[in-house]
């Protein structure tokens, strides 16, 4: 296997140099099992485990490898297996809040160049959801492409295209039927060796069917949608970076209705309608519900009309929401810095190149 065909480029070389001195090799995470990873390396597919040191030093989940990551690995001599010593900084990343008690960041996909946000033109077609996915996609650093699949099921696919183009900004919109023979041609402009493509979207929209069509191989299982509401059945159950015979690198992912970062607010409101209504009756509109006079929440707690545990769980969610928002702001700032870094690196590279040519 050739590293550049696996998506390696100069942006990783600098980050890797300390590891190459230590005798490690670069490898890319193809998929993740419970306690193990599969990696693409120059010597082919290898199984790998994390070193205790990496596990120990990881502060948060996002410090551990995710599908698409480049890692520094030590190959075990004579075996198709390796140990992962470090994760290289991600060029792009999709993350969402992990389920669970701590609002931890979960990396959905790393180092993706082009992300296809897939929606089906069936009963679940929803422009607002595409809008939300798009917002997260722009933050990831990858180039988003909106895919309206199952055009064969829509009476006026061109009307849908116009509607979506109106919110797409700079993202191209592809209207397609995965069952159509010409499907692959529509994706041809994106199929370049070394480019990492990823497909995201709800279960049943046809991500795996599109991937099979693009690869020209029946690589991924696909599943019938439920008849009742045409939702999918979560046929794909793990994220996986596939490398086709033709050299196309594409990530299939399990169905995801939302990328959670942006949507939490609506959930909190829906779930805690009663509390929000109570808060309307506080004397001060910016009441913090701690010890202000005329606080309707404190009064309701005192009188037993509001359950203390329910209040505590509201506070917890509200805090997490604030955390997620803060995190999004940080992501935006990071992205801006990254752009400048790229520009500076470009200037530096040009300068070095010019110096070198002078010497030659």
Ligand X SMILES: Nc1nc2c(ncn2[C@@H]2O[C@H](COP(=O)(O)OP(=O)(O)OP(=O)(O)O)[C@@H](O)[C@H]2O)c(=O)[nH]1
* Shortest reach from residue 302's CB to Zn ion, in Å: 12
Decide: is 301 part of the binding site for Zn ion (CB under 5 A).
no
Does the footprint of ligand X cover residue 150 (CB under 6 A)? yes
What's the distance, CA 360 to chain centroid? 44
Binding characters for ligand X, 81-120, by CB under 6 A (x = yes)? ----------------------------------------
The least distance separating ligand X from the CB of residue 308, rounded to whole angstroms, comes to 40
Alpha helix segments (H runs only) across the chain? 10-21, 52-57, 127-140, 157-168, 183-187, 207-215, 264-271, 273-279, 296-302, 308-359
Q: Which of 295, 306, 324, 331 binds Zn ion (CB under 5 A)?
A: 295
Cα–Cα distance, 328 to 284 (Å, whole number): 29
* Residue the block writes with tokens 């196309």: 248
208 touching Mg ion, by CB under 5 A: yes
Contact between 175 and ligand X by CB under 6 A: the answer reads no
Considering only residues 5, 268, 287, 299, which one is a binding residue for Zn ion as defined by CB under 5 A? 287
Contact between 149 and Mg ion by CB under 5 A: the answer reads no
Using CB under 6 A as the binding rule, whether residue 178 contacts ligand X is answered as yes
Binding span for Mg ion by CB under 5 A among 107-115, 189-197, 231-239, 345-353: 231-239
Residue 260 burial (CB count, 10 A): 20
Question: Binding to ligand X by residue 206, rule CB under 6 A?
Answer: yes
Q: Would you say 47 or 129 has its CB closer to ligand X?
A: 129
The residue within the footprint of ligand X, chosen from 41, 95, 196, 203 (CB under 6 A), is 203
- Can you tell me which residue has the tokens 């669970």? 100
3-state helix/strand/coil string of 115-172: EEEEEECCCCCCHHHHHHHHHHHHHHCCEEEEEEECHHHCCCHHHHHHHHHHHHCCCC
Contact 84, 48 (CB under 8 A): yes
Q: Phi first, then psi: what are they for 21, rounded to 5°?
A: -65, -30
Q: Around Cβ 208, how many Cβ atoms within 10 Å?
A: 24
The contact mask relative to ligand X for 224-263 (x = CB under 6 A, - = no) is: xx------xxxxx-----------------xx--------
Residue nearest to Mg ion according to CB distances in the complex: 236
Q: Does residue 330 come out as left (phi exceeding 0), alpha (psi in the -120 to 50 range) or beta?
A: alpha
Contact stretch for ligand X (CB under 6 A) within 71-79, 223-231, 302-310, 334-342: 223-231
Q: Is residue 202 close enough to count as binding Mg ion by CB under 5 A?
A: no
3-state SS string over 50-65? ECHHHHHHCCCHHHCC
Q: How far apart, in Å, are the Cα atoms of 229 and each of 125, 157, 225?
A: 12, 20, 8
Site stretch for Zn ion (CB under 5 A), options 42-50, 204-212, 275-283, 336-344: 275-283
Which of the listed partners (Zn ion, Mg ion, ligand X, none) does 205 bind, with a CB threshold of 5 to 8 Å by partner kind? Answer: ligand X
Please, which residues have CB within 8 angstroms of residue 128's CB and are 6 or more apart in sequence? none
Binding footprint of Zn ion on the chain (CB under 5 A): 282, 287, 289, 295, 297
Binding footprint of Mg ion on the chain (CB under 5 A): 207-208, 235-236
Binding footprint of ligand X on the chain (CB under 6 A): 149-150, 152-153, 177-179, 203-209, 222-225, 232-236, 254-255
């Amino acid at each position: 296997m050739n590293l550049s065909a696996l998506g390696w480029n100069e942006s990783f070389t600098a980050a890797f140099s300390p590891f190459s001195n230590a005798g490690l090799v670069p490898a890319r995470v193809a998929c993740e099992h419970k306690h193990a990873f599969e990696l693409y390396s120059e010597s082919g597919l290898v199984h790998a485990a994390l070193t205790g040191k990496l596990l120990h030093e990881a502060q948060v989940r996002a410090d551990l490898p995710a599908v698409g990551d480049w890692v520094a690995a030590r190959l075990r001599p004579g075996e198709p297996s390796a140990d992962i010593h470090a994760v290289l900084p991600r060029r792009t990343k999709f993350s969402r809040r992990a389920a669970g008690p701590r609002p931890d960041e979960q990396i959905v996909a790393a180092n993706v160049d082009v992300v296809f946000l897939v929606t089906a033109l069936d009963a679940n077609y929803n422009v607002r959801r595409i809008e939300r996915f798009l917002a997260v996609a722009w933050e990831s650093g990858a180039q988003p492409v909106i895919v309206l699949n199952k055009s064969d099921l829509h009476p006026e696919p061109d009307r849908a295209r116009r509607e979506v183009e109106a919110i797409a900004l700079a993202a191209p919109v592809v209207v397609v039927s995965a069952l159509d023979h010409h499907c692959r041609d529509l994706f041809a402009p994106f199929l370049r060796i070394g480019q990492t493509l990823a497909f995201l979207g709800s279960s049943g929209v046809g991500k795996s069917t599109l991937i099979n069509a693009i690869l020209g191989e029946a690589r991924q299982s696909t599943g019938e949608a439920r008849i009742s509401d045409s939702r999918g059945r979560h046929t794909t159950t793990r994220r996986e970076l596939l490398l086709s015979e033709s050299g196309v690198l594409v990530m299939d992912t399990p169905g995801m209705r939302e990328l959670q970062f942006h949507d939490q607010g609506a959930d909190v409101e829906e779930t805690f309608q009663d509390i929000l209504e109570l808060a309307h009756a506080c004397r001060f509109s910016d009441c913090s519900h701690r010890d202000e006079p005329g606080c309707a929440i404190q009064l309701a707690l005192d009188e037993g009309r509001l359950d203390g545990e329910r209040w505590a769980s509201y506070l917890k969610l509200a805090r997490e929401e604030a955390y997620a928002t803060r995190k999004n702001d940080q992501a935006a700032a990071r992205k801006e810095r990254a752009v400048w870094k790229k520009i500076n690196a470009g200037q530096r590279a040009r300068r070095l190149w010019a110096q070198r040519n002078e010497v030659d």
